Structure 1
């Protein structure tokens, strides 16, 4: 997946969150979107994902040289963010089987295998609502990392993870990013240590928009 942003800007009411972004996110690369809390990193990711429309500028998506309509982007997208909700009324096994009906896993990965990769074998029949915050975050990450999708967006991926969880994230992100377009929103260097490129929101964010 490739994303081309031209003059991209997003405003809420009278306040510009970011403005004047010109950038090409190329397939097979990983880019870190950097900036302090409240600088607009999450808003930018939501805009790039097609979930919210830009106030000005354009976004063009393509896959293997063919244009992709914005309404078709969710089919090509895997997204992990602390604010995304899980269906907590299901058990882990039920949730995985339900989720993968709409977002298939990478070839060779099954729901049972994913449970093993998360080290959650003892929780396979546990209700998701009874998971710790760290277990929920690991589940969100696993669903995104192991989705069969060419576009991967990670917003503050190690939120709620302890040291063991951070190590798990780094191991599995390294195993799943090849060939994908990956964009990581973060202000924690360890979260984006694998990224080849960096993009600072402060260069085109609220200060630049004034």
Structure 2
């Protein structure tokens, strides 16, 4: 997956969140999008994912040498963020069976195997609404990390995780990142220190946009 941003900008009413961002995210690379809280990291990820429309500039997508229309990006995208919800009225097993109908898992990984990887065997028949915040975050991470998707977006991936959860994230992001285009929005080195590229959103933030 290759994404090219050209003169990209996003504003809400009169306030520019970022502006003039030109950058190429190369296939198989991992890029950390850095900046303090409120600097626009999540807005950039949401714009790249197609959930938000850019106010100016352009985004072009390419996969396996072919262009991808913005409306088709969700088909090649796996996304984990604290503000994205899962269906809490289902049990873990029911949720995985439902989710994987629309977003298949990587070859060789089944819903049952994913439960094992998350160390949630004893909770397979438990309603997701009864999970702790850390369990829900591990679930959201697993669905993204083990999705059969060439584009992986991670926004503050260790939110709500304890030390064991952070170690779990680091183990599994290292296992699943190779060969994908990975973007990590963060200001915590533990979340992005595997990334070979860094992009500071503050270089294109409110001050730069004036």
Q: TM-score with structure 1 length normalisation?
A: 1.00
Partner of 1:80: 80
SS in 2 for 1:74: helix
* Residue of structure 2 in register with 1:198 after alignment: 198
- How many angstroms does 1:103 deviate by? 0.1
Q: Quick one: distance in 2 between partners of 1:85 and 1:105?
A: 19
Distance 2:76 2:205 in 1: 27
Offset of residue 206 of structure 1: 1.5
User: 2:99 matched to which residue of 1?
Assistant: 99
How big is the alpha-carbon RMSD for the aligned residues of Structure 1 and Structure 2?
0.4
**In the aligned structure 1, how far is the partner of 2:98 from the partner of 2:206?**
40
Unaligned runs of 5+ in 2: none
Structure 1 counterpart SS, 2:171:
helix
3-state SS of 1:95 partner = helix
Separation in structure 2 between the aligned mates of residue 120 and residue 11 of structure 1, nearest angstrom: 41
| Shift, 1:169, TM fit | 0.1
TM-score (norm 2): 1.00
Residue of structure 2 in register with 1:56 after alignment: 56
Q: In 2, Cα distance between the equivalents of 1:70 and 1:83?
A: 22
Tell me whether 1:150 sits opposite 2:150 in the alignment: yes
Q: How much does 1:199 deviate?
A: 0.3
Q: What is aligned with 1:13?
A: 13
Counterparts of 1:151 and 1:205, CA distance in 2: 25
Distance of 2:151 and 2:83 partners within structure 1: 19
Aligned residue in 2 for 1:178: 178
In structure 1, the residue matched to 2:135 is 135
Tell me the SS of whatever aligns to 1:39. coil
Structure 2 matches for 1:90-129, cutoff 5 A? Answer: 90-129=90-129
Q: Deviations over 1:143-175 (max 9, x none)?
A: 000000000000000000000000000000000
Distance 1:54 1:138 in 2: 30
Runs of 4+ with deviation above 3 angstroms: none
The CA distance in 1 between the partners of 2:6 and 2:98, in whole Å, is: 37
Q: Give the Cα separation in 2 of the matches to 1:207 and 1:180.
A: 33
Number of aligned residues: 210
* Distance (Å, rounded) in 1 between the aligned partners of 2:203 and 2:157: 23
